[in-house]
Amino acid sequence: MGVLYEVNNHIALITVNRPEALNALNTEVLQELDQAVSRAEADGDVYVAVITGAGKAFVAGADISQMKDFGAVEAKAFGEYGNRVFARIESMSKPVIAAVNGYALGGGCELCMACDIRIAGTKAKFGQPEVGLGITPGFGGTQRLPRIVGASKAKELIFTAETIGAEEALRIGLVSKVVPDEELMDTVMELAAKIARNAQIAVRQSKDAINRGLQSDIVTGLAYEAQAFAVCFSTEDQKDAMSAFVRKEKVTAFKNK
């Protein structure tokens, strides 16, 4: 299988599993990734999703052996499909964490940027090397990278096709944490578990408000926040948690309703 899927303790672990090709994304892998994300979204027992890669790479890029003979029509269809899959990850109601082990280049960098939070192992490598192959980034790199690291740095990375290490990725804000490779999955799973312990309606409303606000002016964004804030006051979780707080107690488990 090109993508593995398992659920434990409300966390869906989605692993791109094509290590012999450094997890390069071809149409089949994109289809399986799409199915895994849809499965995690539909499963009420899943609160957080984690995406990683098997072997020594996260995802080394889109599959060049598949793309090399594309014409413009085929290339556009492939890019649009990859973008739809990644947009589904980005817009998924539940938080998605990228556990970046090894190479995250081209489509791999674009995949991790579609996730909400990115944690890297020390050996992780990031880059958009497409112009060195005579093409542009095609799975959202020209749009998400500037939004994450700023236009100037994004243009530098894309125009030069430069690969950067985990510490530089941390410095420019592409990832939020770098940990030793052997601690990567434990760190990510601990973070996922911490998110899963909170009130999930509030977590999902927060994600939605952030994502919508990033595409809006501040006035519109604040309106999205006000709506999300209001929705939470119709939940049992809010009533239980605030009542417990007033009693100087703490809710030990949320109902998520």
Instruction: List pLDDT tens digits, range 60-107.
Output: 988 888 888 889 999 899 899 999 999 999 999 999 999 999 999 999
Q: Two tokens at 65?
A: 């052996």
- Nearest alpha-carbon partner for 66 in 57, 55, 58, 75: 75
Q: Annotated catalytic residue: which of 110, 156, 225, 249?
A: 110
High-pLDDT (> 70) share of the chain, %: 100
Report pLDDT digits (tens) over 185-210: 999 999 999 999 999 999 999 999 99
Residue 49, pLDDT score: 98
Residue 253, pLDDT score: 85
Roughly what angle, to the nearest 10 degrees, separates helices 218-232 and 200-214?
170
- Does the pLDDT of residue 252 top 90, yes or no? no
Q: How confident is the model at residue 239 (pLDDT cuts 50, 70, 90)?
A: very high
Residue 69, pLDDT score: 86
Across all residues in the chain, what is the average pLDDT?
A: 94
Residue 145, pLDDT score: 97
Residue 256, pLDDT score: 86
Residue 126, pLDDT score: 98
Give the 3-state secondary structure of 26-47: CHHHHHHHHHHHHHHHHCCCCC
Mean pLDDT of 248-253: 85
Label residues 7-33 b or e (16+ Cβ within 10 Å = b). Answer: beebbbbbbbbbeebbbbbbeebbebb
Clarify whether 110 is annotated catalytic. Answer: yes
- Nearest alpha-carbon partner for 131 in 153, 100, 162: 162
Alpha-carbon distance of 232 to 109, in angstroms, equals 34
Clarify whether 183 is annotated catalytic. Answer: no
Mean pLDDT of 153-180: 97
Q: CATH fold of 3-196, please?
A: 2-enoyl-CoA Hydratase; Chain A, domain 1 (3.90.226)
Collapse the DSSP code of 53 into the 3-class scheme (helix H, G, I; strand E, B; otherwise coil) and give the result: strand
- Does the pLDDT of residue 43 top 90, yes or no? yes
Residue pointed to by tokens 């690291």: 149
The segment(s) of the chain belonging to CATH 3.90.226.10 are 3-196
- Does the pLDDT of residue 28 top 90, yes or no? yes
Q: Annotated catalytic residue: which of 32, 130, 162, 168?
A: 130
The segment(s) of the chain belonging to CATH 1.10.12.10 are 200-246
CATH code linked to domain 200-246: 1.10.12.10
